[in-house]
Amino acid sequence: MTETDAIVALITLFEREGYARVEPAVLQPADVFVDLSGEDIRRRMFVTQDASGAELCLRPEYTIPVCLQHLHTHGAEPAGYSYGGPVFRMRPGESGEFMQAGLESIGRPDASAADAEILGVALEGLEHLGLTPSPTVKLGDMGLLNALIEALGIPPAARRRVIRAIVSGQGLDSLTDTEGQSQIGHAGLLAAIEGQAPHAAKAFVEDILSIAGIARVGGRSAGEIAERFLARAANRTGLPDESRMVIERYLAISGDPDQAALAIGDLAQATGLDLNAPLRAFEERTGFMAARGLDVERFSFSAAFARNLDYYTGFIFEVQDPRRTDGKPIVGGGRYDGLLQHLGAKAPIAAVGCSFWLDRIVEMPR
């Protein structure tokens, strides 16, 4: 089976399930991806300029372009989309141009059912492609993590830094202040941006650099310099030892979804933290998965599991082929309820989706 064959098979399934095929433009505005996915993605994008000097990039993924197209054609109305085609992103040891297929569910109010459907259709898609043996399914929940950190009363700047440390895979040990005295010379700027929303703080730093006539320093762009200042500002706000211990206890929770729900409930009761709403959503989603015939006991939940994209807000998952030795996923996705508002919607719009790495799927023997 070729990657093109795989796209045809998957799109047939997705359209049957109500996800209409779309094909966003290959050239996309670069700043959108940097603003919403972090400066890390800039180093992996293929960037160019149009005739007016505006920075463009070859489409590094489909989710953001599909969301932009949805806002233009449907606004806040619910719709489901499927796609299949090339994306362009630098990957160590792999081609920078590769084929992806996927689906996005936007605007559905029944979030738990939509989450279960996306995972269910993804696994059915792998069956259509003849994947054997059974894939490994990893689950996480950024909604629970965010609710825990908010319940602990951690200040916004430190909260963002904790989330970034976990999402990047560096862990809480990376929160130790290694900047030392280097912050003293920039104390005024750091104080000015501390506690601001990331987009506002980044824009402020970029404006300061622009006024000073600075475009690049040591090979870093203004956006990358702004990210470093944001990290330093967050570093000025410590994480209390008691909060760190609670977060570490949470991150140690793992098991199948039912086991994890019990452990999270026990932690909430022991610490007196209100996690009722996200825990109910977690348990409801597990129920919808079981109702779809998914064997949830075979799924592995880890509180420490995160996907290295800043826009996820709830349920996340990855599917792996157990024959692969590199640990790279063949399918990955999750819920991103805040993304469309960042892209221009007047209010948050519920959304969840996933993507298939077709090159990793077809290279394995059927």
Report percent pLDDT > 90 for the chain: 63
3-148+245-362 belongs to CATH 1.20.1260.10: no
In the chain the beta strands, taken as DSSP E runs, fall at 20-21, 27-29, 47-49, 55-58, 79-88, 97-106, 136-141, 216-217, 220-221, 254-255, 300-302, 315-320, 331-335, 351-357
Whether this model's pTM surpasses 0.95? no
Give 11's pLDDT tier (boundaries 50, 70, 90).
very high
- Residue 311 marked ligand-binding: yes
Q: Can you give the pLDDT at residue 191?
A: 57
- Residue 62 marked ligand-binding: yes
- Domain extents in the chain: 3-148+245-362, 155-235
- Residue 100 marked ligand-binding: yes
- Residue 89 marked ligand-binding: yes
pLDDT tens for 85-110 read 999 999 888 889 999 999 999 999 99
Residue 207 CA from chain centroid, whole number? 28
pLDDT tens for 24-80 read 999 999 988 877 766 667 788 999 999 999 999 999 999 999 999 999 999 889 999
Tokens of 43: 């180093």
In 107-187 the beta strands, taken as DSSP E runs, fall at 136-141
Give 273's pLDDT tier (boundaries 50, 70, 90).
very high
Tokens of 361: 């799927």
- Cα separation, 315 vs 143, in Å, equals 7
- Cα separation, 253 vs 342, in Å, equals 31
- Residue 21 marked ligand-binding: no
Q: How many CA atoms lie within 13 A of 286 on its CB side?
A: 22
- Residue 42 marked ligand-binding: no
Q: What are phi and psi of 261, to 5 degrees?
A: -60, -40
As a whole number, mean pLDDT of residues 193-203 equals 63
- Cα separation, 271 vs 257, in Å, equals 21
Q: Can you give the pLDDT at residue 199?
A: 66
Give 179's pLDDT tier (boundaries 50, 70, 90).
very low
Identity of the amino acid at 260: A
Q: How many CA atoms lie within 13 A of 303 on its CB side?
A: 24
Residue 100 CA from chain centroid, whole number? 16
- Cα separation, 33 vs 247, in Å, equals 29
As a whole number, mean pLDDT of residues 284-305 equals 97
As a whole number, mean pLDDT of residues 346-350 equals 95
Give 171's pLDDT tier (boundaries 50, 70, 90).
confident
Q: What are phi and psi of 240, to 5 degrees?
A: -60, 145
Length of the chain, in residues: 366
- Residue 63 marked ligand-binding: yes
Q: What share of the chain is helix, strand, coil (3-state, %, to 5)?
A: 50, 20, 35
